[in-house]
Amino acid sequence: MSEDTVSDSQAAKPVKGRGLVWLIAICLLIVGGWYGYKKWSFDKHHVYTDNAQVDGRIVKVLSPETGYVEKLPVANNQPVKRGELLLKLSDDFYRLEVQRAQAQYNIVQSRLGDEKSGGLAQAQQASAQAHLEVLQSQLAQAEADAKQAADSYQRMQLQFKNNNINQSQLDMSKASNDQASAHLLTLQKEVYEAQQELIEEQASGKLEGFGLDSAKAELAQARQRLDYTSITSPLDGVVAKMLAEPGTLVEPGQYLMSVVSLSDVWIVANIKESDFLKVKRGASVTVTIDAYPGQTFQGVVNSTSPATGGMFALIPKDNASGNFIKVPALIPVRIDFVGLPQAQYRLLPGMSAEVQIEIIDKPIEQSTDAAEKKSDGQSSTKDDSNKETDTKTAASEKKATDAKATSGEKQTGGASSSSTASSAQSDMSVEAQEPSPADSDLSQ
């Protein structure tokens, strides 16, 4: 009896063990299915990538002029404010350039003068104008004298023909006439020369005005170059990668240092080209930074790059050369932070990040456009219906007018009225058989 009981208990143990295994397998299958469903649902509504990093404004400071580094009040990793002095170049040469340009400007200004006192150019123009006026007055007197001498000579000729004067008196009158004509011709030439001189002085004054503008521009340029010797920070940030040293000679365009902004930062995520159409402007984004594990940040898609990242590489990919190996292209997407607490979290450009971009049907900006188009379509439909109603009204009024005209012709009497009525009836029958253009448009 005891042996049978032992055998039954030993047979029951494998049955209980197999049931536990099946229970564990079913639980694992349920958990795996639930996890797979959640993964599929997440991938259906989100685009995920860990190929992302923090980006920001990094301004490279270059030397605008040639000179020796005289002052260097900042150091690496030092916070600076916008407009704060970063570097000072020696400015002795540029101060002399400003003095030279100022002297040249003063010379041209003295020639032109100002509102209170006239300059050399104005004095020369006034002198030429006065000289011209004197010659013009002399010319007027000479013209009067020449006319008088000519009249006197004509009278002398008449008297000589009448034997009232002798030859000597006629010769004296002719000499006086010739002298007056020669004097008049001389003054005419002098007046012409004076007019040309005045025109030249006026043109010279205009050239002096252009010279003043040129001198003013040179003076402004010299002052600007002097200001360029003091290099200031273009934004609020931190100095980084400084290569300048006091006493070194720098050339225009030479790299000096960089200023990194810590407040103006964003995320650049490289999305596969197969997911490019799923990313829309305005979509919500969840961002995690490796430097702050467990902390999530909210963002929004700002824009996408007009070309893949490989096109901006130092050596762009060229599939026509060498062996072709297909590699999925990556498209940079800019993501802006929403409500980022700058004081609590310090995000540095270059930090690694992971992003989850929500998939939306249309960009947010296009929703308002679609509503506007819908309202425009409704308004156009209303306009079309109003036009059709007006066309129908005009057609009915035209028929009523034709009917009244036909009845008036019938009342005139006679054979002509009957023929007119028959023709009107035939016209009305034709109109009834053939629809008018307006009716055909309405039926269409």
pLDDT digits (tens, 9 = 90+) for 384-424: 545 555 555 555 565 555 555 444 444 444 434 333 333 33
Backbone angles phi, psi at 345, to 5 degrees: -120, 125
- Tell me how far apart the alpha carbons of residues 285 and 271 are, in angstroms, rounded to a whole number: 13
360 touches 282 (CB < 8 A): yes
Distance, C-alpha 21 to centroid of its chain: 72
pLDDT score of 442: 28
pLDDT score of 135: 81
pLDDT score of 425: 38
- Tell me how far apart the alpha carbons of residues 6 and 17 are, in angstroms, rounded to a whole number: 17
276 touches 304 (CB < 8 A): yes
62 touches 254 (CB < 8 A): yes
- Tell me how far apart the alpha carbons of residues 241 and 258 are, in angstroms, rounded to a whole number: 6
Low-confidence residues in the chain, pLDDT < 70: 1-17, 38, 41-43, 113-124, 205-209, 321-322, 364-444
List domains and CATH numbers for the chain. Answer: 58-67+71-90+229-250 (2.40.50.100), 92-227 (1.10.287)
Task: Give the CA distances from residue 382 to residues 309, 385, 386, 387, 388, in Å, rounded to whole numbers and listed in that order.
Answer: 49, 5, 6, 9, 10
pLDDT score of 393: 54
SS (H, E, C) 375-407: HHHHHHHHHHHHHHHHHHHHHHHHHHHHHHHHH
Q: Which residue intervals of 243-331 are DSSP H helices?
A: none
Structure tokens given for 159:
């008297």
- Tell me how far apart the alpha carbons of residues 309 and 436 are, in angstroms, rounded to a whole number: 65
pLDDT score of 181: 84
Work out the angle at residue 52's Cα, subtended by the Cα atoms of residues 48 and 56, and round it to the nearest 5 degrees. Answer: 140
How buried is 255 (Cβ within 10 angstroms: 0-12 exposed, 13-18 middle, 19+ buried)?
middle
Which one, of 170, 149, 146, lies nearest residue 158 by Cα? 170
Q: Which residues contact 267 (CB under 8 A, 6 or more apart)?
A: 52, 53, 54, 55, 285, 287, 299, 334, 335, 336, 337, 353, 355
Which one, of 327, 331, 322, 263, lies nearest residue 301 by Cα? 331
121 touches 201 (CB < 8 A): yes
pLDDT in tens, 158-169: 887 887 778 887
Report helix angle 364-411 to 414-433, nearest 10.
160
Task: Give the CA distances from residue 310 to residues 14, 303, 304, 331, 346, in Å, rounded to whole numbers and listed in that order.
Answer: 62, 18, 14, 9, 30
pLDDT score of 98: 95
Q: Which residues contact 179 (CB under 8 A, 6 or more apart)?
A: 149
